[in-house]
Every structure is written in structure tokens, then in C-alpha cells.
A and B are shown apart, each in its own frame.
Chain A
Amino acid sequence: MTSLGEVKDLSSTASIMLKTSIFSAWGELATASFRQDYLRAIVKPYYPILCPFWLASLREFARIRVDPEASATSSSATSSTLESSYAGLNREVALPVGDYAFLLLHV
């Protein structure tokens, strides 16, 4: 993601931060939909898009958190563009961005 709205030329770090924010925001809505019926109609159509992103985000967060050395030098084939976006990010960059947001992805 190189742009969002009228904001152009996003760096890789900014792109990941924004994606994390977007996925966690939708995660909050999905969680709230269990209490608020009207939210189900909003979130449900986007589950096919959200679920792969949520899984990829959680997978990468777990990998960075558990083994930052492996995530920084990972050269294994990745199954999603999101995972490839995280490749090379070190612990100091990714963890502050994702620490709170990722914990909200508990749908």
C-alpha cells in the first residue's frame, strides 16, 4: 500500500503501521458486532478480505515477537503480500507499531 486517501508515497514502515491500524480497527468492529447487531451487516461482507489479513498479521507479529532474528533475515517464500511487507523489519520498528493493535485482533 503506497497511498491511502490523498496521502501518497507511504514508506514501508508507514504502510505497515496503517495496515495494522486498519486491520485492528476492523477487528474491534468485528468484536463489537457480537454485542451490537447492526455491526454484523457492516463487517460480514468484508470477512473474506479481513480473515486472511488478520491471520497474516497475527502470524507475522508472533514471528517478530518470538524470534526477531529469524524475521529480519527471513528468505522463505511467503504466501501473502502482507508477510512479504514485514520481511526485513526489525523488532524495534514493528513491535511498537503492532504491540497494542495486534492484541485487538481476537475475532
Chain B
Amino acid sequence: MCKQNFSKSRDLDFEDALLLEQHQAAIAAALTPAFAADSFPEVLASAIQVCAVFIGCGVIRDISKMGRILRLLTGALENCKGK
């Protein structure tokens, strides 16, 4: 919900940049524990949804800059293939 509400907010310090774009690394770091060995399936499912919301909200439009968050999403889909 935060991503959806703030996806168009500008960074007060850098007017040309979106607020959430500056926090992509922090968001990816916050999502990483959800994929850890001691995580729960419910948390993992929610993290996947968060990854999709972040990718889809338009904060970052350059695929090469989506980094770990996109890799988490594509990796999850690849994991479903043939299993």
C-alpha cells in the first residue's frame, strides 16, 4: 500500500527523482529475509506480492535498475517451472 500511495511522490532533496527510487536498496534489503531459510510460507507469499507491486508501480522503469527485486520475482517463477 505504501508503494502504491507513494509511487509518484518526489524526493524532497532531489526534485528530479522519485522518493521510492532512492529507497530501492532498502526495500530489497527488507524483502531479503522473507526468502531466508527460517521464513514462513505466508511471509514469502506476501514478499512476492510486494516485489510485484514495486515492479509494477512505475517507480523504476529501467529493467537494468530493478536489480534484486526483479530477480526475486523471476527466480520464484523459474522455481515453479516443471515442478
Q: Which of A's residues lie within 8 Å of B, judged by CB?
A: 1-8, 10-11, 14, 17-26, 28-29, 32, 36, 38-39, 41-42, 46, 49-50, 53, 81
Contact = CB atoms under 8 A, between A and B. Distances in A.
Category for how many chain B residues contact A:
20 to 34
Interface string B61-83: 11100000010111111011111
A6 B41 CA distance: 11
B52 A8 contact: no
Nearest to A4: B79
A25 B46 CA distance: 10
B77 to A, nearest CB: 6
28 contacts: A4-B35, A4-B76, A5-B35, A5-B76, A6-B36, A6-B39, A7-B35, A7-B36, A7-B37, A7-B41, A10-B41, A17-B42, A17-B45, A18-B48, A19-B80, A21-B45, A21-B48, A22-B48, A22-B76, A23-B80, A24-B49, A25-B49, A26-B73, A28-B56, A38-B58, A39-B56, A42-B63, A46-B77
